[in-house]
Amino acid sequence: MVLTGAEIVIRCLQEEKVEYIFGYPGGSVLHIYDELFKQDKIKHILVRHEQAAVHAADAYSRSSHKVGVCMVTSGPGVTNAVTGIATAYTDSIPMVVISGQAPTHMIGQDAFQECDTVGITRPCVKHNFLVKDVKDLAVTIKKAFYIAQSGRPGPVLVDVPKDLGVDKCEFDYPKSVTIRSYNPATKGHSGQIKKAVQLLLEAKRPLIYAGGGIILSNTADRLTKLAHMLEVPVTNTLMGLGGFPATDKQNLGMLGMHGTYEANMAMQHADVLLAIGARFDDRVIGHPEDFASVPRKIIHVDIDPSSIAKRVKVDVPIVGNLNEVLDELIAQLKASEGKVEPKALASWWKDIDGWRKKDSLKYKMGKEIIMPQYVIEKLYEVTGGEAIVTSDVGQHQMWAAQYYKFDKPRRWLNSGGLGTMGYGLPAAMGAIFANPKTPVACVTGEGSIQMNIQEMSTCKQFRLPVKIVNLNNRYLGMVRQWQEMFYGNRYSESYVDALPDFVKLAEAYGHVGMQITKPADVEPALREAFVKHKNELVFLDFLTDPTANVYPMVANGKGLSEMVLAEDL
Amino acid sequence: MRHLISILLENEAGALARISGLFSARGYNIESLTVAPTEDPSMSRMTIVSIGSDDVIEQITKQLNKLIDVIKVVDLSEAAHVERELMLIKVRAVGKDREEMKRMADIFRGNIIDVTDSTYLVELTGDSVKLDAFIGAIDNDLILETVRTGVCGVGRGDRILKA
Ligand SMILES: Cc1cc2nc3c(=O)[nH]c(=O)nc-3n(C[C@H](O)[C@H](O)[C@H](O)COP(=O)(O)OP(=O)(O)OC[C@H]3O[C@@H](n4cnc5c(N)ncnc54)[C@H](O)[C@@H]3O)c2cc1C
Ligand SMILES: Cc1ncc(C[n+]2csc(CCOP(=O)(O)OP(=O)(O)O)c2C)c(N)n1
Ligand SMILES: [Mg+2]
């Protein structure tokens, strides 16, 4: 069948069973948008800014395990999308971005809205393509979907010059593709897995440190099984939350810069560390030399060899897909009929229980002023722990991570690696499209929400009942906290003056707005939002304590054992 | 340590930029880089000389392998290998220097491939040390210009880098 390039793009996306494209039209993609108009299998979600299209596609993927798809026009469409693409890249999110480009014969001549899209996005995509011939279009899109979701996932961009939209060729969508230069790891090395099992069984103070890889590979159930077989403690990274149930008694909570006392102490004192789909980020291990100064054996499972031995020395590297590696690990463990020595394990748990007694997440409740932590605790209660929670970046993000207990994967969506303010609201939109029946809350701050606040308009158009939980402390709180701790209280440019009236703003966009100023009103307001206004977007503007800080805290460049607790102050 | 990294990659537009971009983005050092298509025109072979600790070189090879266009990577310096570089060096050759230059070119087994009244163009191949030695051996004031290709290398015997 002979089709135009524009028809081919749409047909390929249909073949990939794409439900939604998040995008924004413009000159170079008009041929494609015309074809989109003529069909009804794929729905297009018109955002208000390309960055939001990418975040929405990203969160659609994070909350569903499907590939997110977005479409933008050449030039400013692409440059607006870059922050979203980089956000997805650092957190390894599978995504396909289709971008328009100036016509092939004009590329390189500073044509209208021409930009070097492949060059600009190269460092923040898993791979990208400039398609120069309509005959290559279908196979390139096939490759893009394959690359995006296999191996270590990531965004792939396909740049399509405008003239390809009308060029014609025979359409045949390949069932599969092989790329000789790309063969992602699958099975782990059995000998290495055997060594890992041995090390774990001989351990006196074993710890599982599980990251975003568990979520990305859908292996939360396997991790839980493994942890229960071994009866060892588990800690999650910010990206791994929900990979092991937060309410499980073996869970120590999040570790790292704002991790719990017990998680960081366990990380520091474990003699055998099983790292699974986690990349020893600097926000997790603190100062690498301090971390390395404690002797311990490290087993590291990751699909990306470059994640292994990048920041710490590893004793047993296992390169493979977690699906297969965890299956084999569990099978070998079963076959060995071994157990971690009960006496040692009991004493290890005793240590941990001692650390837990510090109750490092406790905070002082105010009578007059709302504590931000309290809002998250109530959000957890009111939603029965069943909501999908997206967040922006800052103190509110950390409080959401610390106080909302995620028992299931793909419920916690945030920008961990890039730390992109502006992620939360568009992410909530993407999550609703993937999970129309699940309540979705966007925990944000008055700074972050304004970075993509225009998306309230998209929410109106598509009737997206996001519950925006704005922890309004009138400060770029995370910045203010660092200035208080490390810059002698010089609050340089961290006070946000002249805030809008968020209630009126929400109303102006056609939504419900509420401002909550007293602790006693927190729960009723949340109930009203989630029950009475279930099907509406509600902007909950909580005026919270402007002086509240996030604790515990491991200062930048310090060792994990040098944690600052709220009670120390 | 100085390492010779050999890369087999897809001969595609942009592949070179992906590799050079990787080095600059991650702060890896490039002493020299050479690339050209192989006997199979769909593939190129690249040799990069880089200096770094073992940890850095390990990350470099891993990061290179991660690039979709890269087919294979090997650190040639890990075992026996041969390396060569070509240099074209234009020197002033008048008076007594004319004879002296001819003699030096002969000692280094170079060829004089272009001659004018006052200049020689010497072509020299060898490992980088030899080319450096030639430059060191002649009077620096006589050098008019030098062009070096950068190093290319290959493993010895059965060490073969193929797709
Ligand atoms: C303000 C702020 C504060 C922060 N504070 C903290 C903190 O206190 N604690 C914390 O943990 N983080 C914190 N972060 C986040 C931090 O920056 C990193 O994003 C995070 O720690 C990385 O998580 P991860 O190690 O799980 O890796 P991810 O980025 O989730 O990477 C996943 C890993 O899994 C691998 N993988 C993917 N798929 C598979 C598969 N199928 N099989 C095997 N492996 C696979 C990947 O190759 C990768 O190495 C903070 C971020 C911000 C913005
Ligand atoms: C796009 C972007 N710009 C700047 C930053 C740096 N930054 C990190 S947290 C933060 C403050 C966020 O303020 P707010 O949204 O009010 O959240 P709070 O910390 O007060 O909860 C800033 C400016 C960032 N992460 N992202
Ligand atoms: Mg704030």
- pLDDT tens digit string along A202-238? 999 999 999 999 999 999 999 999 999 999 999 999 9
DSSP A37-49: HT-SSSEEEE-SS
3-class secondary-structure state, position B55: helix
Q: Is residue A80 part of a domain?
A: yes
Mean pLDDT taken over chain A: 97
Work out which ligand 2 atom sits closest to the CA atom of A372.
21
To the query of whether residue A429 is one of the catalytic residues in this protein, the response is no
Gap from A46 CA to chain B (nearest CA, Å):
32
Contact by Cβ (8 Å): A495, A474: yes
A397: pLDDT strictly greater than 80: yes
Residues A273 and A377 in one domain: no
A456: pLDDT strictly greater than 80: yes
Q: Give CA A498 to chain center in angstroms.
A: 31
Higher pLDDT, A461 or A559: A461
Q: Tell me, what's the pLDDT at A561?
A: 83
Gap from A430 CA to chain B (nearest CA, Å):
28
What is the tens place of the pLDDT at every residue in A358-374?
A: 999 999 998 899 999 99
Enter the tokens of residue A352: 């941990």
Residues A333 and A266 in one domain: yes
What is the tens place of the pLDDT at every residue in A42-81?
A: 999 999 999 999 999 999 999 999 999 999 999 999 999 9
Is beta strand B81-92 parallel, antiparallel or unpaired with respect to B119-126? antiparallel
Q: Tell me, what's the pLDDT at A569?
A: 63
To the query of whether residue A162 is one of the catalytic residues in this protein, the response is yes
Q: Give CA A433 to chain center in angstroms.
A: 17
To the query of whether residue A365 is one of the catalytic residues in this protein, the response is no
Q: Is residue A176 part of a domain?
A: no
Structural fold of domain B82-152: Alpha-Beta Plaits (3.30.70)
Cα(A513)–Cα(B68) distance, integer angstroms: 48
HEC secondary structure over A499-511: CCCHHHHHHHCCC
Question: Per the residue annotation, which of A19, A106, A113, A204 is the catalytic one?
Answer: A113
Longest dimension (CA), chain B: 57
A288: pLDDT strictly greater than 90: no
Residues A345 and A455 in one domain: no
Q: Tell me, what's the pLDDT at A556?
A: 84
User: What DSSP character marks residue A551?
Assistant: -
Q: Which residues pair with A236 in a beta bridge?
A: A210, A254
Residues A15 and A142 in one domain: yes
The average pLDDT across A311-325 equals 97
Q: Tell me, what's the pLDDT at A447?
A: 98
**Whole domain around residue A270: which residue ranges?**
190-356
Chain B residues with beta carbon closer than 8 angstroms to that of A118: 14
Mean pLDDT taken over chain B: 96
Q: Which of A223, A323, A232, A241 is nearest to A284 (CA)?
A: A241
Chain B residues with beta carbon closer than 8 angstroms to that of A119: 17
Q: What is the CATH number of the domain that holds A90?
A: 3.40.50.970
Cα(A100)–Cα(A369) distance, integer angstroms: 50
Q: Is residue A514 part of a domain?
A: yes
Residue B99's pLDDT band, with cuts at 50, 70 and 90, is very high
- In residues, how long is chain B? 163
What pTM value is reported for the model?
A: 0.97
To the query of whether residue A7 is one of the catalytic residues in this protein, the response is no
Cα(A432)–Cα(A452) distance, integer angstroms: 17
Q: What is the CATH number of the domain that holds A253?
A: 3.40.50.1220
- Domain positions in chain B: 2-79, 82-152
A291: pLDDT strictly greater than 70: yes
CA of A226 to the centre of ligand 2 (A): 37
Residues A389 and A465 in one domain: yes
Contact by Cβ (8 Å): A106, A118: no
Dihedral pair phi/psi, residue B67, rounded to 5°: -65, 135
Query: HSE of A199 in the Cβ direction (CA atoms, 13 Å)?
Result: 25
CA-closest residue to ligand 2 atom 4: A421
Q: Tell me, what's the pLDDT at A335?
A: 96
Query: Which residues have C-beta atoms less than 6 Å from ligand 1?
Result: A 91-92, 152, 211-213, 216-217, 237-240, 254-259, 277-279, 281, 283-284, 302-304, 307, 321-322, 393, 397-398, 416-417, 419, 478
Q: Tell me, what's the pLDDT at B163?
A: 86
Higher pLDDT, A562 or A531: A531
Q: Tell me, what's the pLDDT at A303?
A: 98
Question: What are all long-range contacts of A312-320, with beta carbons under 8 Å and residues at least 24 apart?
Answer: A312/A280, A312/A285, A312/A288, A315/A199, A316/A192, A316/A195, A316/A196, A316/A199, A317/A192, A318/A188, A318/A189, A318/A192, A318/A193, A318/A196, A319/A185, A319/A188, A319/A189, A320/A185, A320/A186, A320/A187, A320/A188, A320/A189
Residues A194 and A99 in one domain: no
Count of domains observed in chain A: 3
Cα(A569)–Cα(A165) distance, integer angstroms: 63
Q: Tell me, what's the pLDDT at A187?
A: 96
Q: Is residue A134 part of a domain?
A: yes
Work out which ligand 1 atom sits closest to the CA atom of A216.
38
Residues A132 and A208 in one domain: no
Return the ∠ at Cα A89 (arms to A406 and A214), rounded to 5°.
35
Residue A347's pLDDT band, with cuts at 50, 70 and 90, is very high
Question: Per the residue annotation, which of A143, A162, A297, A467 is the catalytic one?
Answer: A162
Q: Is residue A248 part of a domain?
A: yes
Residues A542 and A393 in one domain: yes
Query: Which residues have C-beta atoms less than 6 Å from ligand 2?
Result: A 392-396, 419-422, 445-448, 471, 473, 475-479
- For residue A85, count other CB atoms closer than 10 A to its CB: 30
The average pLDDT across A232-261 equals 98
What is the tens place of the pLDDT at every residue in A125-172?
A: 999 999 999 999 999 999 999 999 999 999 999 999 999 999 999 999
Residues A156 and A260 in one domain: no
Pocket test residue of A61, A87, A90, A92 for ligand 1, highest count of atoms within 8 A of CB:
A92
The average pLDDT across A462-486 equals 97
Q: Do A123 and B55 touch (CB under 8 A)?
A: no
Query: How far, CA to CA in Å, does A51 sit from each of A40, A83, A85, A424?
Result: 25, 6, 8, 12
Are B2-79 and B82-152 equal in CATH topology?
yes
What is the tens place of the pLDDT at every residue in B122-150?
A: 999 999 999 999 999 999 999 999 999 99
Q: What is the ipTM of this complex?
A: 0.93
Cα(A127)–Cα(A146) distance, integer angstroms: 11
To the query of whether residue A43 is one of the catalytic residues in this protein, the response is no
3-class secondary-structure state, position B8: strand
Work out which ligand 1 atom sits closest to the CA atom of A91.
29
Enter the tokens of residue A364: 């002082």
Cα(A158)–Cα(A169) distance, integer angstroms: 18
Domain B2-79, CATH class in plain words: alpha beta
Residues A497 and A458 in one domain: yes
Question: Per the residue annotation, which of A17, A39, A112, A365 is the catalytic one?
Answer: A112
Question: Which residues have a beta carbon within 5 Å of ligand 3, which is an ion?
Answer: A 445-447, 473, 477
Q: Positive or negative, the Cα torsion across A50, A51, A53, A57?
A: positive
Helix (H) or strand (E) holding B134: helix B128-137
CA-closest residue to ligand 1 atom 11: A237
Q: For tokens 């328009």, name the residue.
A: A100
Q: Do B66 and A179 touch (CB under 8 A)?
A: no
Residues A351 and A377 in one domain: no
Residues A409 and A507 in one domain: yes
The residues near A308 (Cβ < 8 Å, ≥ 6 apart) are A300, A302, A314, A317, A319
Q: Burial level of B36, CB count in 10 A (0-12/13-18/19+)?
A: exposed
